[in-house]
Chains A and B, each alone.
Chain A
Amino acid sequence: MKVNIVSLTCCAGCVSSFLNAGDALLEILSQDFDIVYSPTFVDLKEVPQVDLAIVEGGVRTEADEKLIREVRAKSRVLVALGICATHGGVTSLGNIISVKKLLEKEYFVLETSKLPELEDLMYPICNFVDVDYYIPGCPPMPFLIVHSLKSIVSGKTPIRHQSVVCTECNRKIIAAKLDRLYGIYDKEADPNLCLVSQGFVCLGSLTREGCGAPCPRAGFTCFGCRGPTDSLLYRSRDLYSFLVKVISKRTSIPEEEVKKELYRNPFIFHTFIFSKFERFKARERII
């Protein structure tokens, strides 16, 4: 199987994560998995026709858009790897300021003939091309990438993860009696209790499982890098009011007060999913 690895606007963390798979990586490389195009690793400059394209990063420049269209046209199966490709990622936080302002403030007015023009927003790739599988995560864990790729290589649909991070976290959920919420630096976390029950704003109850819950297990709140779970991809579900209810139930802090605290910071949920995302089409293809 001929494989392209393509990077659009991103931090290269997803390909790094793939390289962290250790022996599983050697195994997959020894099988029918021939990486023919990857600017990071291979000297080929033209995008070739392949069976599988793995794309990390989202679309921020016109050059990104041109490349993703070319890659789609030249590959049989296309996998969006990581939250930038699937939902826009952290870079989509840049959507809060206009490109014009960004360039004027930070740079001279740029001579555009030499640099690629910017898109008005940072987009996930599904805004431009059809995607066969989405593997969200910032970055997705090596085992998740390798398992999914193995299935795809053998022509099977990878196992989907439809529930929430809480199912993979071993902390005990209780209805605690607290008077306020806490920032992650404010106090040390009890190693056994649910972080929300301790007053931390953990997004595990909103976020797609499949990562193994490394952050909340370590005592750091989940910040939603796997994106919203299946049930939250219905338009009728409001992430804010859902989390307000969860927090209020587990801390006994009245919903109104939780709301006030959460609404203070719009980034609480949308660190990774700020961009436009066509959520209905994609649901059954999110791994």
Chain B
Amino acid sequence: MTSQREITISPTTRIEGHGKVTIILDEAGNVSDAYFYATEIRGFDYFLRGMEADRLPFIISRICGVCSTAHVLASVKAIENIYGTEITETAKKLREVLLMGQIISNHSLVFFFLILPDFWFSKEEDPSKRNAFQIMRENPEIGRKAIALRSFATKILDTIGKREVHIVSAIPGGLISPLKEKEREELLKAAKEACAITQEAVSLGKELFEKNWEEFRKAGDYKTHYMALTEDDATEFYEGKIRIINPEGAVYSEFTAQDYMKHIEEKRYEWTYAKFACLKTLGCQKGIVQVGPTARINVNRKAKTEFANKELEEFKRKFGSPAHATLLFDYARLIDLLYACERTRELLEDENITRTDTRVKVKPKGGIGTSVVEAPRGTLAHEYTLTRNGRLKSIKLIIPTQVNSAAINLNVKDAATEFIQKGEIKTGLLNRIEMVVRAYDPCIKCATRNVTDGLKVEIRNQEGKLLKILS
């Protein structure tokens, strides 16, 4: 009997941006393919052409309101790369604080508002209640913690970035103004409080994670390459070398930001507005790479700060290295969060950070420049070609979600295969698919800066006929 059915999850909720999942069934009603894809497009790569270099960073930050700081920093670094500008140590420190503010802002949002409801509520819970606002109503203390961490990140971005979303202070040559001593003291005090709250959040996250681990480990375990920035084998966000490890954990290649595009290539598919990215040398079948929180731990041996390093070691002991289970992204993200708080405190304890030499003069010229930073979701690369008159000739951006897209799709297919057999759809499919997709914290806004609708799961037959939309 042929059971021709079609499933759509629409919209996929608790992720940033508009995504959709389509599952295609074969004649027998088994899964033949599954896609997670983006349904929006904005055209950044095109309309930026011809733009003057000094307008690029602030317009490019509009690609994504959630990780705008990472985009601004990647952008100014790429321009500095073309100009041949070396910024001062003070500016570098302040930019790293900004990037840590970005990580705290994003990870506290993802943990408390997007992920926590999956850990907190039982699967039987009424879906209309399975959200952060309900947790806050039941447990106002958690709400206060979430808001306190968000507020700390906001304070960093506001004080040093001069705006909390779409910062303006980072410009080619450094930072527009120095940090005042009074501001440093206030931020440092807030950083100490934030570190304490984060440690509580990590304990809570670990407790809930361990309770569900037997269930979580079944959700997907895909052995791929991993990529992240590294410096002396330690996690690094602002600068350093890019390291790729193979699925067994051995170093596959290591290179500088300038060579990024030589190692990673983009591939486009007709069914999504987001382009995929994979290893050039192995192609898009074998060269699947994952970036983000788990990748940062897999690629590195240690973290520079005390408590984050302890957690990192415990993580490696418990889950092996490299760790592969998809939902570990949620666990690893907490270690990132702890690192970001500790590192912020460390940088602010350095009194030299208030030195006034935050800016050097730039000498504009044409050329090609590539830069890489670790954005909340993983390795982010910007490459610009500027004309002699300082205008943008071409632009190439490779965004973490593009790199993770292949792995997300494999995970979605695995989940679909487990839950759909002979045309029978077991309950829990929707929840499982959304959880694996959510673990990657995909940012569809970023992946589709080119032309964007909510996550949908569609089930189609081989002829493409829509059979069912899951919602």
Contact = CB atoms under 8 A, between A and B. Distances in A.
A103 to B, nearest CB: 8
A40 interface: yes
Interface in A144-201: 183-185, 188-189, 191
Contacts of A109: 270
Given A14-B65, A93-B47, A115-B39, A43 B131 contact: yes
A60 B177 contact: no
Contact of A45 (B10, B40, B43, B114): B10
A53 interface: no
Interface in B108-143: 109, 113-114, 117, 127-128, 130-133, 136, 143
Interface stretch (A126-134, A213-221, A227-235): A213-221
B303 to A, nearest CB: 27
A64 B113 CA distance: 24
A158 to B, nearest CB: 20
Interface stretch (A15-23, A69-77, A244-252, A275-283): A15-23
B240 interface: no
A115 B39 CA distance: 6
B171 A185 contact: yes
B39 A61 contact: yes
B13 A108 contact: no
Contacts of B261: none
Nearest to A57: B452
Contacts of A217: 162
Nearest to B466: A113
A17 B65 contact: yes
Residue with the greatest number of chain B CB neighbours at <10 A, chosen from A46, A109, A265? A265
B268 A108 contact: yes
A107 to B, nearest CB: 6
Nearest to A105: B46
A94 B42 contact: yes
A60 B452 contact: yes
Contacts of B133: 29, 34-35, 41-42
B450 A188 contact: no
A262 interface: no
Interface stretch (B52-60, B327-335, B343-351, B411-419): B52-60
Interface string B261-274: 00000001011110
B166 A13 contact: yes
B362 A185 contact: yes
B202 interface: no
Contacts of A97: 43, 46-47
Given A60-B40, A111-B271, A94 B451 contact: yes
A271 B59 CA distance: 8
A254 interface: no
B154 A20 contact: yes
Interface in A233-266: 265
Given A41-B113, A111-B270, 11 more contacts: A11-B445, A14-B65, A39-B11, A43-B131, A45-B13, A61-B452, A94-B46, A218-B176, A220-B176, A223-B58, A267-B51
Interface of A: 7, 9-17, 19-20, 22-23, 25-26, 29, 34-36, 39-46, 60-61, 63-64, 67, 89-91, 93-94, 96-97, 99, 102-103, 105-111, 113-116, 118, 122, 138-139, 142, 183-185, 188-189, 191, 214-215, 217-220, 223, 265, 267, 271
Interface of B: 10-18, 22, 37, 39-47, 51-52, 54-55, 58-59, 62-66, 68, 105, 109, 113-114, 117, 127-128, 130-133, 136, 143-144, 147, 150-151, 154, 158, 162-166, 168-169, 171-173, 176-177, 268, 270-273, 359, 362, 364, 445, 450-455, 464, 471
14 contacts: A10-B445, A16-B66, A17-B65, A22-B154, A41-B131, A44-B128, A45-B471, A61-B40, A64-B453, A90-B59, A114-B22, A218-B163, A220-B168, A265-B52
Closest 4 CB pairs of A and B: A13-B65, A94-B43, A218-B162, A45-B471
